[in-house]
Amino acid sequence: MTDATAFSPLSPEFQANPYPYYAMLRMGAPIYYWKDWKMWLCTRHDDCATLLRDNRLGHEILRHMDAEELGWATGEAVEEKQRFRLRLQRRWILFKDPPDHTRLRSLVHKAFTPRMIEQLRGHIEDITDKLIGAMAGKDEIDLIKDFAFPLPVTVIAEMLGVPVEDQGMFSSWSDDLAGTLDLTDDRTVFDRAADATVEFYDYFKALAEKRRHDPKNDLLTALVQAEEDGDRLDEDELISTCILLLIAGHETTVNLIGNGINALLDNPAQMALLRDVDVEYRPELVKSATEEFLRYDSPAQLSRRWVLEPFEYNGHQFEMGQQVAMAFGAANRDPERFENPDTLDIQRENNKHLAFGNGIHFCLGAPLARMEGQIAFDRLLKRYPTLSRAGEPVRRPAYVLRGFSSLPIKLG
């Protein structure tokens, strides 16, 4: 790849290692217009941080332009099940602008404050220890299937009040809906997501009804009661919020754990820093290591906004109805912001990455993801300080949510 015209984030080569492509764009076209998707792509840290806070960019473009003006299929051209999926997803906090975003976020925020998350520490440690205990006697595991996935799924499902016997159902539903967050025009992705939306909706509608008659000490009960207390949370908002929390509550953490361990395996000198001369674990480095994993191979690579009103930025004219994408993965490797950005440095200081975004849509679950990641790395490396590769890792065939579907690990 020698110029911006070869930019192809949907290609297997790009998805395997996007960072050399990002470097090319930062140098030659840091604000690049991708004609195929009518989308501006920003790759510098300062630009991404600034535009994420610009209220001329947002999510609810249909408040400013109609579907016909945008060139979208409407009415009979959209299947009923896709209309239902879109109706629910447009109520996700992730895709709302103020004032609805402010109202929904304030409602959910109380469950994700650092103080509330800290109260979960002991329970998260117990779940982690149980998963690690199940590895006893095994020579090899798949880190994703056996550890990175079940840990955050169990935590967020319990927070919502999903019975343990039902948690296994959410894996495929969540994966199918998460696929719509990627850059894709694959019809099957949206068909699977539409089916998953129906399954999710029916499940949470029934569970919410139970909570109305039998309240519990969980987040779903709090959301149900807020709806009944006149906070204007309608049924679609209630259920779509539960769906989003379940998906977002584990996607980032699964990728953080997998990408972090993979980065350590690729950088044995950094792995060695977590141990002293007697190959004992150094827990004091876990916090900075977790932040470095978030920067070095960001679990979420990109976030998009619509141009809600035309404006000029750094010599580029953004037109209403276009999209602007902030590439977190590129921003977090910007040499103008980070020294030796392509080097993994688990002792890096002043690590102000954008892995969780910026502005009003800064990731609500960041405190939880950070804690889960720190506990996961702490417990796993303490128990298995000499873990190594057992085979080739398999990347998920996706761009926006960057992670592994399989990561074979030798435990001893």
Residue 152 burial class via C-beta count within 10 angstroms: exposed 0-12, middle 13-18, buried 19 and up: buried
Q: What does the CA dihedral 101, 245, 39, 360 come to, rounded to 10 degrees?
A: 40
Kindly report whether the global pTM for this prediction surpasses the value 0.85. yes
DSSP assignments along 140-167, one per residue: EEEHIIIIITHHHHHHHHHHHT--GGGG
The pLDDT score that the predictor gives to residue 6 is 62
Nearest to 48 by CA among 258, 304, 347: 304
Query: Is there a contact between 104 and 222 (Cβ–Cβ < 8 Å)?
Result: no
Between helix 366-383 and helix 150-160 the angle, nearest 10°, is: 140
The pLDDT score that the predictor gives to residue 170 is 82
Query: Is there a contact between 330 and 26 (Cβ–Cβ < 8 Å)?
Result: yes
Counting Cα atoms < 13 Å in the Cβ hemisphere of 275 gives 16
CATH topology of domain 4-410: Cytochrome p450 (1.10.630)
DSSP assignments along 231-244, one per residue: S---HHHHHHHHHH
Instruction: Output the CA angle 122-125-128, nearest 5 degrees.
Output: 155
Q: Which residues contact 133 (CB under 8 A, 6 or more apart)?
A: none
CA of 57: how far to CAs of 50, 128, 160, 255, 314, in Å? 11, 40, 31, 27, 15
Residues of the chain falling short of pLDDT 70? 1-6, 73-78, 227-232, 275-283
Question: Percent of the chain scored above 70 by pLDDT?
Answer: 93
For residue 99, give the 3-state DSSP assignment: coil
For residue 44, give the 3-state DSSP assignment: coil
